[in-house]
Every structure is written in structure tokens, then in C-alpha cells.
Amino acid sequence: MPPFPPGTVWLVGAGPGDPGLVTLQAAWALGQADAIYFDALVNAEVLRLARGDCEKVFVGKRAGCPSPKQSEINAALIAAARRGQRVARLKGGDPYVFGRGAEEAQGLVAAGVPFRVSPGVTAGIGGLAAAGIPVTHRDVNQSVTLITAHDASGGLSSKLDWEALSKGAPVLVVYMGFRLMSVIAARLLAAGRPESEPAAVVANATTDRQQVVRTTLGRLAAGEDVEGISPPAIIVVGGVVALAPVLGLAAAAAVQDAPTLAEALGG
């Protein structure tokens, strides 16, 4: 494993929810860290990989809840590193996929703090796979587009070209779009996607609370079929959703009682 010297920061991806999807490098980093600054979507089981004397600081952001500003998080990471701590910044999914990891890395660079990125499994790929939805299939699509429903202001970005997205991407995967799913679906319909196109919403992906709703773009625009679903959720639109009835059942049948992450790693 690479060295994790004092005074450095690792931006660590925790994966989409299932603690078993944490990488070996991430597990090693968490066991070395003096301080862990973690997000709201990080599974608490992952934190069990930390040393007993490790400082654990919650810096999560959730819609409608008080949360630290990004500048405050950046400053906390820099201050901890300058105190000589090994700092792990633990983020859900992958730090660089709609996770503000690049903003934190820029802050560290500006402050002269050495850092490393430990990639994680992003929900738009791993989370969909757990629901039986492959993001690519050679009979369906040769490209896939990842979209975030939130810009820096917290709303739907005005920079998104819905007509171009509709025409250019056979499969669309939308992060953080739960509150705006009807609006997003309506934009895609207005841009030319058919009402009958398969769509799905996957909530709490890869966890024991996972919910999967398969529907159509038209019904999604009308707000149908999603009662009882709660965020965090990933939305996917495209022909790959049609594979879920077979692949999803096969994946569910393969799930058995499993040891905890700590048990699996001998902890």
C-alpha cells in the first residue's frame, strides 16, 4: 500500500452504500488515519475500520438540514493536516464524481497540503448494477451520460442542454435528482424522448434498504410509481432498464447472509 505520512490528506471513496464495496486501499487508509471527516451517505459500518483513537468528524450535507459550508470543510482538512495528522476525507461513492472532491483537492493544492485520491465505486454504476441494471450493453448503447440535478446553487442547472442530452445519450444516469425527477423527466420528454422509454429509480442502492422502481419516462414525469421511495436515489433512463427484470432477480437470488466488513477483513 502507498505510504500515508503525517500532514497529508487522502480523499477516500466509500462506495455507494454496501461496506463490502470499499476498496482495500480505502480500508488501509482508514486504519492509518488520525482523523476522518465523513459525509452523510457513508455507511457507519465503514467507520469501524478506523483505529479506536481516531478522531471522527461528521461534515455531511443533506438537503434542508444545517450543514458546514464547503469552505469550512476545506479549512478543517487543511488545519488538521497542518497539525501533523493523517487525514482521511471519507466521501460516499467516488470523490470525483459529483462529490466536490475536486474542490477540496483544489483547496489543498492552494494551501500546499499533500494529498492523494483513493477512488470509490460510484452509485451511478455500482448502485445500478446491484439493481440489475447494467449502464452499458452492446445491444443497447455505446455511450452513457452522467448528470447531476444540482448545480452550485442547489437547483437544476440552467447549463444543461436537454435537447442535446436527449439526442446524444442512449442512457442517462441522474444523480441527486429525487426532488426534481418529474421536472427532469418532463424536460427529456419536451426534448424528444418517448413517453414509453424505460426508466428506473434506485434508492439506497446496494444496502439492505434498497428500493427499485421500474417505470417509464412518461409515468415518471407524471410523478407516478414512486410513492414510498425516499432519497438518496439514482435515476436511469434508457433501454438498459429493460434488462432489470432478469438480471435483478438473478442478483437478488445470489444474496445470502454475509459477514460484516470488519469480520471479512479479520477485524
Backbone angles phi, psi at 148, to 5 degrees: -105, 135
For residues 74 and 103, what is the distance between their CA atoms, to the nearest angstrom? 8
Closest CA to 73 of 121, 105, 42, 98: 105
Active-site position among 18, 34, 39, 94:
39
Give the C-alpha distances (Å, rounded to integers) separating 263 from 192, 206, 209. Answer: 50, 19, 21
For residues 93 and 233, what is the distance between their CA atoms, to the nearest angstrom? 13
Backbone angles phi, psi at 16, to 5 degrees: -80, -10
Does the annotation count 176 as an active-site position? yes
Q: Provide the edge-to-edge strand list for the sheet that holds 145-148.
A: 145-148, 172-175, 233-237, 198-203, 211-216
Whether the CB-CB separation of 267 and 52 falls below 8 Å is answered with: no
Does the annotation count 39 as an active-site position? yes
Q: Cell numbers 467507520 label which residue?
A: 47
Q: Please tell me the total number of residues recorded for the chain in this structure.
A: 267
Burial 185-205 (b: 16+ CB within 10 A, else e): bbbbbeeebeeebbbbbbbbb
| DSSP structural state of residue 141 | B
Closest CA to 204 of 255, 128, 120: 128
Active-site position among 18, 34, 94, 176:
176
Residues annotated as part of the active site: 39, 61, 176
